[in-house]
Structures are given as C-alpha cells and as structure tokens.
C-alpha cells in the first residue's frame, strides 16, 4: 500500500488522467442506463402501474393494448374461468386533446371498469377519481387541477385529480379514467362506433390461486386468449426487447473499453518502470508485495473514477430529456461499480505477470522484465 500511494503522489497528473478517463466512462454508462430505463418506462410504465395482477389480451393483439380487442364472447369465457376474484374491462386509445386551452397534442386514455383491476396502483399526488369527468394523469406531463378536452368535441371534459409516477404508455402522456368516460371519449372520436370493445380484461386471482396458475387456466380456456402476469405484460411488450438489445450493444462496448483503458495503462507504466522494479527485486523486495501494490493502485484509481463518475451523473439523473424522465438507479450504480472493478483488476493481471517475471539478476546487466 505504501508503494502504491507513494507512486501515485509522485505522478499525480498521470494517474489523475486515468481517474478522469474512468470517471467519464462511468458517467457515460450511467447516463445510457438512465436513458434506457426512462425509455422503457415511457413505453410500458402504465402497464406496470395498473393494478390488475393478470392482463388478458386477444391473441391477434400482439400483447399490446393498442392492438388487442376483446369480443363479448371471449370476455364471457375469461370471466368464467375458475380462480378469478375480480375481472374488469380495460380500454386504451390515443386521442388528440388540449390541456387548459394549450395547443393540441396526443394523449393516451386508459379506461378501467373496476379500480382493483385497471386503475393506477399508486399515486404521487392527489387522489383517485370518485366520479365522472375525473382522471389520474401521468406525473410530469400533467398537473393537478388541469382540464383536458378532446379535440373532436362532444367527449367528456376531464379534470386531473391525481398523478401517478412513471405511468406513460408508448411514450405518450397518459390519463387513467373510468370506463364510461372512456366509452364517451371513444364515441366522440369515432361517432360511427356502435360498440366500444375493451382492449384487455384485467383479472385478480382468488385467494389461494397464483397469478401464474390463473394465466395457464385462461390460456387453456380459449385459444383466442393471451393471458400474462403484469410483469410479463410489461417485459414482453413489443419494442422493449428492441430497446434492450440496442442499449445492450452499447453497454458491451463500454465493458470492453474499461479493461482496455486500465489494462493498457498499467502495462505501459510497468514497462516504463521495469528498471526500478528490477532494482527493487534485487534489494529483496518480494514479487508478491510489488503485485499487491499494483493491484492496490488499480483498486484505488478505479474506485475514485467510479465515485467521481457517479457524482457527475447525480445532477443529470434528476433531469428530463424530452418527455423522458431520468432517474438514479442505485442497483445499476452498484452493478457497474462491481463489474468495472472486476474488469480492471482482471486486466491488470497482464502487468502483474510482467512484475512476477522480473529476474533480480538482471540488475547486473541493466535489463528489465521480459
């Protein structure tokens, strides 16, 4: 440890540049991680936030509320499956709206028949709707007390009485409202629609029946039903895998850069000071002590880089990028800190082998490690 600290103090600029490089790498990784999480949440946040433990789509709906339609016959079949404590219709559509007279924009409306299977599971402000014309909006896009009107006219005028965090769907500001209000909005937007079909059926298992068991029963009851637990409905939503795959490639490149940066740095440093290391070995310094000093340097510099990079990211984690709300994910920080530390120590093994290969006798010829 003494050797490691002494060398760092003697070459502050050299080691400082390495810490800066690691900090920048950590900052970029955490920023990309936050963008991925924000993008995925804006796609499926409303699915994760709604209260139904099981969602039943039509098979043709490709596991999306936008594409699924539940016929009355299929709804009847679903509701008669054994083990259901509560079931209710859920509809979703995208409408052009204006908020407090502001310029028109798109908003997703999610109508639910029963609060226990379709309403938001938690609020960050306000209250749940308790009458017609009231809605819960996605936090960040709506504010309490705002009035939302459909551009088509004739639909319900909605007042935002509650806010739900991370409750967007398809990267669109989202409102949860009662089923009658949703039907009225759908008919206002499409006057020719005689019947408004639900997009899905939200289901709550009876006591003693697990969500997964109920999923299997519903799928067996009808080949037209595609039942999913809430987590499955969110994670298997189209587009989520594509986002994860794209960002996964970026993270892989970051994971390759980290060991290259630290490994090459310490290998170059080891080659540059080979004469000094040979002399230390000749006067009796154990090879193990030199290797431990090297690894201590790697750990200290990588740890400092991770800490600085995390502090740089902290203000950014509270920002918004367009409609995406970034957030600070402590588990992601811990994961990348451990991974980068492990990769840095592993990459330093090449330099460590150079140290172990030093022959003390080479001091008589002025040689170094081979």
> Per-residue pLDDT for 58 more than 80?
yes
Same domain, 93 and 9: no
In a domain, 156, yes or no: yes
Cα distances (angstroms) measured from residue 331 to each of 29, 116, 328, 335 = 13, 30, 9, 6
Contacts of 222 (CB under 8 A, 6+ apart): 74, 77, 78
In a domain, 369, yes or no: no
Model-level pTM?
0.76
In a domain, 152, yes or no: yes
Same domain, 142 and 96: yes
Same domain, 254 and 162: no
Same domain, 86 and 228: yes
Residue 370: pLDDT band (50, 70, 90) is very low
Same domain, 174 and 223: yes
* Number of domains observed in the structure of the chain: 2
Same domain, 162 and 107: yes
Most confident range, picked from 74-88, 183-197, 339-353: 74-88
Domain end among 204, 219, 235: 235
In a domain, 370, yes or no: no
Over residues 219-223, mean pLDDT: 94
> Per-residue pLDDT for 260 more than 50?
yes
| pLDDT recorded at residue 114 | 92
- Which percentage of the chain shows pLDDT scores above 90? 39
In a domain, 217, yes or no: yes
Same domain, 17 and 60: no
> Per-residue pLDDT for 81 more than 90?
yes
Domain end among 200, 235, 270: 235
Contacts of 134 (CB under 8 A, 6+ apart): 158, 159, 161, 177, 178
| d(C-alpha 42, C-alpha 173), whole Å | 9
Contacts of 343 (CB under 8 A, 6+ apart): 255, 258, 259, 262
| pLDDT recorded at residue 259 | 76
Domain end among 205, 235, 265: 235
Q: Say what angle helices 240-272 and 12-49 make with each other, to 10 degrees.
A: 170
> Whole domain around residue 6: which residue ranges?
2-43+240-364
């Amino acid at each position: 440890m003494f050797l490691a600290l002494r060398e760092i103090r003697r070459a502050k600029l050299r080691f400082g540049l390495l810490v800066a490089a690691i900090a920048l790498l950590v900052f970029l990784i955490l920023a990309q991680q936050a963008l991925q999480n924000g993008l995925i949440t804006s796609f499926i946040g409303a699915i994760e936030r709604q209260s139904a433990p099981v969602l039943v789509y039509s098979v043709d709906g490709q596991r999306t509320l936008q594409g699924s339609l539940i016929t009355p016959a299929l709804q009847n079949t679903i509701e008669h499956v054994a083990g259901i404590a509560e079931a209710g219709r859920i509809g979703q559509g995208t409408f052009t709206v204006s908020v407090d007279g502001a310029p028109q924009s798109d908003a997703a409306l999610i109508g639910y028949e029963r609060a226990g299977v379709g309403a938001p599971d938690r609020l960050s402000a306000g209250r749940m709707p308790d009458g017609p014309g009231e809605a819960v909006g996605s936090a960040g896009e709506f504010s309490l007390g705002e009035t939302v009107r459909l551009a088509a006219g004739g639909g319900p005028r909605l007042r935002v009485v509650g806010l739900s965090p991370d409750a967007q769907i398809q990267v669109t500001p989202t409102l949860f409202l009662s089923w009658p209000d949703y039907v009225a909005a759908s008919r206002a937007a499409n006057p020719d629609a005689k019947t408004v079909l639900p997009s899905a059926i939200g289901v709550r298992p009876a006591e003693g029946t697990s969500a997964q068991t109920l999923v299997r029963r519903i799928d067996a009851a009808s080949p037209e039903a595609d039942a999913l637990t809430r987590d499955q409905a969110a994670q298997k939503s189209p587009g989520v895998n594509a986002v994860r795959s794209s960002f996964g490639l970026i993270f892989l490149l970051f994971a390759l850069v980290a060991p290259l940066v630290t490994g090459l740095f310490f290998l170059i440093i080891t080659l540059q000071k080979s004469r000094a290391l040979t002399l230390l070995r000749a006067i009796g310094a154990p090879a193990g002590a030199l290797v431990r000093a090297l690894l201590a340097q790697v750990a200290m510099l990588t740890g400092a880089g991770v800490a600085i990079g995390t502090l740089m990211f902290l203000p950014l984690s509270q920002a918004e990028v367009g409609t995406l709300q970034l957030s600070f994910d402590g588990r992601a920080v811990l994961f990348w800190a451990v991974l980068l530390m492990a990769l840095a120590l592993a990459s330093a093994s090449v330099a460590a082998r150079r140290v172990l290969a030093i022959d003390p006798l080479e001091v008589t010829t002025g040689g170094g490690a081979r």
